[in-house]
């Protein structure tokens, strides 16, 4: 991440952009702007239209609406070619040409009319930057998945693109390879002024690399903003679910004196919650924000404003952690604990437990579906 604050004009800007195929609209974007030095993540589930949008922004796919690159509108096939020649793209598969690694990395430069000698030296630089200089003489069939993707990225960076398009670049790599590549990419991005647009369906990857996140669903932009803000304040239930939030509570937000905003739950209970306008609301609580105790926490845990007594309903494995479902006065909360913590607490199904949640972790969704199903409030 490279600071992330947009400076000056966007490098690439889309307004009212939509891609149609066979009479169906695949993706629509009202406004999207990419700035130099910023990693903009397009996040969303499979089929959300992320890749289609990326292709439209890269000039690979024809789209309706306005696309402005470097202050100039991109309209014709020639405009799209100029856009592709000023940018570079890496896809999920490395798509290396059946020639040597060196020639692969030179290819983008040669297509832009660079001389053999200059292409050679710039390709060598790019390969070294990605730590794969020693593979220059190899053929792609002799590379591992991680090596091949590094070569593909080197090939993209060799042309010194104004915008780098990455379409699920890590999706076919194993976790250690992925982590090493993310570290290297972030190091490269920090020293570069290029704009990066990174498509992923992986929320952790999005948070690890993104300065700005745009979340898409079913071809529409649901939310866009600074990464941390988008992650901590998802706008809709489905996005919150996508982010792994499982507990949703319905009620009325009532602002109290000072900063004490409360949510009056339908069952009659109430919770302190993050600030939100008064009125009907749905709040989301992340399981990692629910802290479990065997008895009421003392003074040092005073910031945990919501302290609720209940019983353990179920314990189930959730990756390396355990998920504990707690029933509190008619509502159900999910909490994540380590195996060691479960033993320390001596929790078992049917036993008593105290659940504590910070007010700031009770997050009212800015757009939620009321009983009628329509959005009741915009941000």
Partner 1 sequence: MQLIWEGFVEALRLLLGGDAALYQIALRSLWVSGLALAAAVILGIPTGGAVALTSFPGRRLVVAVINTGMAAPPVVVGLLVALFLTRNGPLGQFRLLYSNWAMVIAQVIIALPIVTGLSLAALQQLDVGLRQQIAALGANRLQAFFYQLREIRVALLAAVMAAFGGVISEVGAVMMVGGNIAGQTQVLTGAIVQETRMGRFANAIALAVILVSLAFTANVVLTAVQQQGRRV
Binding stretches for partner 1 (CB under 8 A): 55, 58, 60, 81, 84-85, 88-89, 91, 93, 95, 97-99, 107-108, 111-112, 138-139, 141-142, 155, 159, 165
Q: How far is the CB of 89 from partner 1 (least distance, A)?
A: 4
Task: Output the smallest distance, CB 50 to partner 1, in A.
Answer: 15
- Nearer to partner 1 by C-beta: 97 or 349? 97
Q: Which of 137, 352 has the CB closer to partner 1?
A: 137
- Give the closest residue to 64 by CA, choosing from 51, 74, 54: 74
Q: Nearer Cβ to partner 1, position 92 or 238?
A: 92
Taking alpha carbons only, the member of 73, 50, 80, 83 closest to residue 195 is 83
Choose between 122 and 155: whose C-beta lies nearer to partner 1. Answer: 155
* Nearest distance, CB of residue 238 and partner 1, angstroms: 29
Q: Rounded to the nearest whole angstrom, what is the least distance from the CB of residue 95 to partner 1 in the complex?
A: 4
Which residue's CB is nearer to partner 1, number 77 or number 351?
77
> Which is nearer to partner 1, 112 or 116 (by Cβ)?
112
Q: Identify which of residues 31 and 142 has a Cβ nearer to partner 1 in the complex.
A: 142
Shortest Å distance, C-beta 194 to partner 1: 15
Other C-beta atoms lying within 10 Å of the C-beta of residue 288: 14
C-alpha 192/C-alpha 161 separation (Å) is 10
Distance of closest approach, residue 51 Cβ to partner 1, in angstroms: 10
Instruction: State the nearest-atom distance from the C-beta of 179 to partner 1, in Å.
Output: 25
The string of DSSP letters for 146-157 reads HHHHHHHHHHHH
Of 114 and 322, CB closest to partner 1: 114
d(CA 296, CA 305): 12
Nearer to partner 1, 167 or 325 (CB): 167
Using alpha carbons, select from 79, 99, 82 the residue that is nearest to residue 140.
Answer: 99
Strand partners, 262: 254, 272
Q: What is the dihedral of CA 208, 211, 214, 215, to 10 degrees?
A: 20
Tell me how crowded residue 32 is: count the other CB atoms within 10 A of its CB. Answer: 21
C-alpha–C-alpha distance, residues 134 and 146, integer Å = 14
Q: The dihedral of CA 172, 175, 177, 180: what is its sign?
A: positive
Cα 289 → chain centroid:
20
Rounded Cα distance between 64 and 49, Å, is: 15
Structural tokens at position 171: 């999706």
Question: Do residues 365 and 234 touch, judged by C-beta distance below 8 A?
Answer: yes
Distance of CA 361 to the CA centre of its chain: 20
- The encoded tokens of residue 42 equal 């397009």
Q: How far is the CB of 86 from partner 1 (least distance, A)?
A: 9
Least gap, CB of 127 to partner 1 (angstroms):
16
Cβ contact 196:157 at 8 Å: no
């Amino acid at each position: 991440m490279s600071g992330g604050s947009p400076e000056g004009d966007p490098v690439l800007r889309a307004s009212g952009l939509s891609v149609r195929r066979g009479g169906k609209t695949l993706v629509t974007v009202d406004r999207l702007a990419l700035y130099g030095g910023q990693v903009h993540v397009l996040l969303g589930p499979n089929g959300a239209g992320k890749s289609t949008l990326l292709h439209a922004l890269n000039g690979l796919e024809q789209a309706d609406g306005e696309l402005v690159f470097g202050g100039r509108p991109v309209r014709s096939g020639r405009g799209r070619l100029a856009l592709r020649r000023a940018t570079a793209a890496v896809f999920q598969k490395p798509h290396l040409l059946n020639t040597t690694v060196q020639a692969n990395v030179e290819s983008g430069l040669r297509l832009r009319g660079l001389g053999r000698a200059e292409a050679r030296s710039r390709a060598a630089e790019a390969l070294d930057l990605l730590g794969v200089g020693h593979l220059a003489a190899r053929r792609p069939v002799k590379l591992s998945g991680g090596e091949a993707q590094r070569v593909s990225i080197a090939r993209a960076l060799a042309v010194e693109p104004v915008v780098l398009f990455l379409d699920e670049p890590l999706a076919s790599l194993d976790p250690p390879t992925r982590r090493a590549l993310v570290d290297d990419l972030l190091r490269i991005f920090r020293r570069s002024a290029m704009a990066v647009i990174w498509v992923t369906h992986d929320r952790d990857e999005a948070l690890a690399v993104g300065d700005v996140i745009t979340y898409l669903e079913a071809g529409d932009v649901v939310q866009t903003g600074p990464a941390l803000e988008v992650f901590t304040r998802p706008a809709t239930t489905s996005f919150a679910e996508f982010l792994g939030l499982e507990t949703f509570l319905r009620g009325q937000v009532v602002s109290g004196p000072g900063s004490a905003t409360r949510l009056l739950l339908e069952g009659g209970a109430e919770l302190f919650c993050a600030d939100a306008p008064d009125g009907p609301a749905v709040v989301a609580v992340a399981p990692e924000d629910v802290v479990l105790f065997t008895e009421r926490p003392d003074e040092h845990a005073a910031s945990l404003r919501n302290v609720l007594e209940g019983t353990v309903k179920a314990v189930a494995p959730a990756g390396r952690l355990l998920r504990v479902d707690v029933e509190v006065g008619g509502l159900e909360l999910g909490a994540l604990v380590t195996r060691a913590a479960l033993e320390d607490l001596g929790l078992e199904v049917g036993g008593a437990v105290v659940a504590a949640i910070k007010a700031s972790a009770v997050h009212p969704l800015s757009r939620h579906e009321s009983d009628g199903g329509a959005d009741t409030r915009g941000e």
